[in-house]
């Protein structure tokens, strides 16, 4: 019997979850020896007129052979579908093309899945990248490789005390003065802003190209996953050898 690879992949995930859940239950049970033990007791009085006690019994709740048999069935199904997927993956390939231009050819389906995940994470990084302040005019700085602005000058001031004459000296009273504080220019700052951020237009272009490539990879993955998968049967052989059949 044959299926498409995407059908096999869709079936494998829930099967794997079901098998893992069941095996966890079995393993938990195997760690409780009391579940596998039982007894049947019948009382026989020594004398004919002795007490006649009712029988006592305890039911065996689990059987190892039953657990192993069910485990064999579950794993056989999982082994077979996994082998079917892996064999189909060997021939599941497609090309990645953007706007009719081939970027890469003959890419395996597993690689396409990996690329889709990594490119999606890369897109998140680009989207989070800081942008150059649009209020500034930026230009490349050849020395540092950064972006820079034109120099901008600002003055530096300091508080200085300056005496002022309130009343000049006269024959009747001495001169009266008072200290006042004033701002005096003592220097000039010349500042150039530097930045390692992206220009908004560059960021927009990068995001658009990455998104196009992600979309192309998704299309290629879908094309690769429609390859025919021939059902494989390896589980029986494995457990036949384990059981010595």
**Burial of 15 per CB tally in 10 Å (0-12, 13-18, 19+):** middle
The whole-angstrom separation of Cα 220 and Cα 25 is 40
The model carries a pTM of 0.65
Q: How far is CA 131 from CA 6, 74, 198, in A?
A: 41, 54, 5
* Angle between helix 64-91 and helix 235-242 axes, rounded to 10 deg: 140
Helix orientation angle between 109-128 and 200-224, rounded to the nearest 10 degrees: 160
CA dist 203 → 162, 193, 212 (Å): 55, 20, 14
Q: How would you write the pLDDT of the chain (245 residues) with one tens digit per residue? A: 777 888 888 899 999 999 999 999 999 999 999 999 999 999 898 888 888 899 999 999 999 999 999 999 999 999 999 999 888 888 889 999 999 999 999 898 889 999 999 999 999 999 999 999 999 999 999 999 999 999 999 898 888 888 887 777 777 777 787 888 888 888 999 999 999 999 999 999 999 999 999 999 999 998 988 888 888 888 989 988 888 87
The single-letter DSSP state of residue 225 is T
Which residue in this structure is represented by tokens 């997927």?
85
* Dihedral-angle region of residue 228 (phi above 0 means left; psi in -120 to 50 means alpha; beta otherwise): beta
Q: 43 near 52, Cβ under 8 Å?
A: yes
CA proximity to 84, closest of 3, 198, 20: 3
> How many CA atoms lie less than 13 Å away from 58 in the CB half-sphere?
7
Distance of CA 226 to the CA centre of its chain: 26
- At residue 136, the pLDDT reads 92
DSSP state letter for 143: T
């Amino acid at each position: 019997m044959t299926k498409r690879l995407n059908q096999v992949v869709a079936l494998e995930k829930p099967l794997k979850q079901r098998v893992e859940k069941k095996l966890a239950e079995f393993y938990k049970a195997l760690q409780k020896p009391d579940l596998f033990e039982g007894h049947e007791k019948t009382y026989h009085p020594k004398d004919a007129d002795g007490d006649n006690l009712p029988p006592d019994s305890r039911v065996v709740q689990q059987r190892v052979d039953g657990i192993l048999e069910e485990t064999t069935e579950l794993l056989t199904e999982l082994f077979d579908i996994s082998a079917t997927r892996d064999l189909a993956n060997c021939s599941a390939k497609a090309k990645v093309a953007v706007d009719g231009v081939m970027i890469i050819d003959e890419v395996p389906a597993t690689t396409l899945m990996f690329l889709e995940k990594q490119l999606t994470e890369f897109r998140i990084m680009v989207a989070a990248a800081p942008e150059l302040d649009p209020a500034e005019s930026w230009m490349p700085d050849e020395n540092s490789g950064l972006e820079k602005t034109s120099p901008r000058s600002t003055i530096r001031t300091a508080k200085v005390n300056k005496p002022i004459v309130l009343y000049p000296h006269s024959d009747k009273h001495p001169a009266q003065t008072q200290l006042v504080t004033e701002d005096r220019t003592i220097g000039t700052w010349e500042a150039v802003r530097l930045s390692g951020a992206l220009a908004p237009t560059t960021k927009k272009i990068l995001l658009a190209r990455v998104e196009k490539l992600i979309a192309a990879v998704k299309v290629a993955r879908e094309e690769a996953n429609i390859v025919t998968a021939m059902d494989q049967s390896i589980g029986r052989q494995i457990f036949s050898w384990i059981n010595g059949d």
